[in-house]
């Protein structure tokens, strides 16, 4: 039998699981450990620029194109001779010799809630209208299922999705691919909604009430264990409740784990270096978490709560105003602080850093496309045919630009990269065989990822 395979008889038996009070995740949890390969990276920080940054106004400028395509911004030299980026990314420009810049990412989904499924799972969605629980499991949940981070009181997967100060609506909550999907709620990443830039920042799950001390803590811990013993094969949500309750108790009783969420332990100069804003402090929080042993932390760009402006990086209007004032500066600052910080701590070689959105923007300013949401005279609509991203650390080659787009940043002209290829490469670097065969919710045997490893990008 091939590595990672389940026999036909075993697959047929799965049809009886509901009658036995067991679901698919329970079966998988009882199975043998998933295969692994030598890993280059211990952890990954995925900075998700939700909304889709305009490639030609950030990492792939076209200074020789007509103004209606190239836009308003000038370009600047970088640490790589002959390579230029937008003038509003000065930090990235200085560090381009330390990262891998991919300028040929491509797919066909221009929907903000479904396109992330490709970037976060390496698989397409089977049904555009499916609920989140029907998604293919994201990388964070797969790593959790494989036991990464086991033995650590901290969760194996954390999503940072901070609220803005005024609790503005967060469309990112509807994003597909961010959770455990059909793997089941037991493997759902811990989600942190709190604003780390707030003076009152605390994570509810690790903040005990005043009476939860001493023997009462032990009593509640004993109750959790007793419940776990009574429910041998808890289905679905019950299993998740017990697991998450146990996780909370572990956090509450482990000061070292809880300290990973205490940003006040960072020197003021370090916090300032990341940026005293929601995004900067979220990225700093991510660094503290991977340093404490969390294998994968995803930082979602927040709705900053400013009214009458583009939401996230979704610049249908005010593209140039918002990129210049609200988006590029904090994004550039936080990424550069993270790269410098990881390098100074000797962590960059074993930590993957991904800086990417789910798509790009239309080549022409004011251009609207089918399936998009339109564009004002100073905006760009959704565009998935080509966009850019940065990957650093974790065995990725430094100082290379992979792929290119055409003269209008409209389509790849060389070396197209599918999201599935990027995810396959991330899995490989994290020590997971991306071609591992797994059984999905329909009982089908499928590869973990539908892409191929980008061998030219890793050492």
Which is higher by pLDDT, 235 or 200? 200
Asked if residue 307 is part of any domain, the answer here is yes
CATH classification at residue 40: 3.40.720
Please give the C-alpha separations between residue 403 and each of 26, 47, 70, 102, in angstroms, as whole numbers.
42, 21, 19, 6
DSSP letter string over 232-245? SS--HHHHHHHHHH
Lowest mean pLDDT among 183-192, 210-219, 250-259, 264-273: 210-219
Asked if residue 243 is part of any domain, the answer here is no
Q: How many residues does the chain have?
A: 459
| pLDDT tier, 439 (very low <50, low <70, confident <90, very high otherwise) | confident
Asked if residue 229 is part of any domain, the answer here is no
Which is higher by pLDDT, 58 or 129? 58
Lowest mean pLDDT among 174-178, 285-289, 345-349, 360-364: 174-178
How does pLDDT run across 14-25, given as a tens digit for each residue?
Answer: 333 333 333 333
Asked if residue 222 is part of any domain, the answer here is no
Q: Are 295 and 149 in contact (CB under 8 A)?
A: yes
Distance CA 338, CA 277 (A): 15
* Token duo for residue 377: 């005279």
Q: What percent of the chain has pLDDT over 90?
A: 66
Lowest mean pLDDT among 21-25, 99-103, 136-140, 204-208: 21-25
Count of domains in the chain? 1
Say whether 78 sits in a helix, a strand or coil.
coil
Asked if residue 241 is part of any domain, the answer here is no
Q: With a cut of 50, say whether residue 32 has pLDDT above it.
A: no
Instruction: State the pLDDT at residue 308.
Output: 63
Asked if residue 187 is part of any domain, the answer here is yes
* Token duo for residue 261: 């969420």
Tell me what the mean pLDDT of segment 82-110 comes to. Answer: 98
> In sequence order, which residues have a C-beta less than 8 Å from that of residue 151 and are 6 or more positions away?
none
CA dihedral 267, 269, 270, 275 (to 10 degrees): 130
Instruction: State the pLDDT at residue 126.
Output: 86
Say whether 455 sits in a helix, a strand or coil.
helix
Lowest mean pLDDT among 125-129, 156-160, 282-286: 125-129
Q: What does residue 162 show for φ and ψ, rounded to 5 degrees?
A: -65, 140
How does pLDDT run across 297-342, given as a tens digit for each residue?
Answer: 999 998 877 766 667 999 999 999 999 999 999 999 999 999 999 9
Domain around 29:
8-203+261-279+294-364+386-457
Q: With a cut of 70, say whether residue 13 has pLDDT above it.
A: no
Distance CA 124, CA 446 (A): 13
Q: With a cut of 90, say whether residue 151 has pLDDT above it.
A: no
Instruction: State the pLDDT at residue 219.
Output: 53
Instruction: State the pLDDT at residue 24.
Output: 37
Asked if residue 87 is part of any domain, the answer here is yes
Going through 205-337 in order, the beta strands assigned E by DSSP cover 296-300
| pLDDT tier, 205 (very low <50, low <70, confident <90, very high otherwise) | low
| pLDDT tier, 53 (very low <50, low <70, confident <90, very high otherwise) | very high
Selection from 170-184, 246-260, 304-318 with the highest mean pLDDT: 170-184
Q: With a cut of 70, say whether residue 5 has pLDDT above it.
A: no
Query: Which residue, among 118, 158, 143, has the nearest Cα to 430 in the 3D structure?
Result: 143
Asked if residue 452 is part of any domain, the answer here is yes
Instruction: State the pLDDT at residue 230.
Output: 42
Lowest mean pLDDT among 61-65, 183-187, 252-256, 274-278: 252-256
Averaged pLDDT of the chain: 85
Which is higher by pLDDT, 227 or 417? 417
Q: What does residue 436 show for φ and ψ, rounded to 5 degrees?
A: -55, 135
DSSP letter string over 387-414? EEEEEESTTBPSSEEE-EE-TTSSSEEE
| pLDDT tier, 152 (very low <50, low <70, confident <90, very high otherwise) | confident
400-402 sheet: strands from edge to edge: 190-192, 157-160, 296-300, 43-48, 351-356, 387-392, 100-105, 400-402
| pLDDT tier, 296 (very low <50, low <70, confident <90, very high otherwise) | very high
| pLDDT tier, 252 (very low <50, low <70, confident <90, very high otherwise) | low
């Amino acid at each position: 039998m091939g590595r990672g395979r389940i026999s036909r008889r075993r697959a047929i038996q799965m049809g009886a699981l509901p009658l036995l009070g067991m679901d698919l995740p329970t079966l998988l949890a009882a199975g043998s450990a998933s295969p692994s390969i030598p890993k280059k990276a211990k952890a990954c920080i995925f900075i998700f620029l939700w909304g889709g940054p305009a490639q030609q106004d950030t990492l792939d400028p076209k200074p020789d194109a007509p103004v209606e395509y190239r836009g308003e911004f000038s370009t600047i030299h970088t640490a790589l001779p002959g390579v230029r980026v937008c003038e509003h990314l000065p930090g990235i420009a200085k560090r381009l010799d330390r990262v891998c810049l991919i300028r040929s990412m491509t797919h066909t989904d221009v929907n903000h809630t479904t396109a992330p499924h490709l970037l976060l799972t390496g698989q397409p969605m089977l049904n555009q209208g499916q609920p989140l629980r029907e998604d293919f499991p994201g990388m964070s949940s797969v790593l959790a299922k494989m036991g990464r981070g086991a033995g650590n009181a901290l969760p194996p997967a954390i999503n940072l999705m901070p609220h803005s100060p005024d609790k503005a609506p967060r469309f990112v909550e509807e994003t597909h691919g961010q959770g455990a999907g059909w793997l089941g709620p037991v493997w759902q990443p811990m989600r942190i909604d709190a604003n780390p830039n707030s003076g009152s920042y605390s994570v509810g799950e690790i903040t005990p009430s005043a009476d939860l001390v001493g023997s009462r803590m032990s009593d509640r811990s004993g109750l959790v264990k007793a419940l776990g013993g009574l429910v041998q094969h808890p289905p679905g949500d019950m299993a998740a409740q017990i697991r998450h309750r146990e996780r909370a108790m572990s956090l509450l009783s482990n000061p070292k784990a809880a300290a990973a969420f205490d940003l006040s332990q960072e020197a003021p100069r370090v916090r300032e270096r990341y940026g005293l804003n929601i995004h900067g402090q979220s990225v700093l929080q991510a660094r503290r978490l991977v340093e404490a042993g969390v294998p994968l932390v995803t930082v979602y760009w927040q709705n900053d709560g400013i009214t009458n402006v583009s939401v996230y990086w979704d610049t249908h209007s005010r593209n140039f105003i918002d990129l210049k004032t609200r988006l590029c500066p904090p994004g550039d600052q936080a990424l550069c602080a993270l790269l410098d910080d990881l390098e100074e701590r000797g962590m960059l070689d074993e930590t993957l850093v991904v800086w990417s959105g789910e798509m790009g923007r239309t080549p022409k300013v004011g251009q609207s496309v089918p399936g998009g949401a339109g564009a004002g005279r100073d905006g760009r609509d959704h565009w998935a045919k080509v966009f850019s991203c940065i990957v650093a650390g974790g065995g990725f080659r430094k100082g290379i630009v992979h792929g290119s787009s055409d003269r209008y940043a409209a389509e790849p002209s060389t070396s197209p990269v599918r999201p599935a290829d990027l995810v396959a490469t991330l899995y490989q670097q994290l020590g997971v065989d991306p071609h591992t065969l797994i059984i999905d919710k329909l009982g089908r045997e499928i590869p973990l990822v539908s892409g191929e490893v980008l061998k030219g990008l890793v050492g």
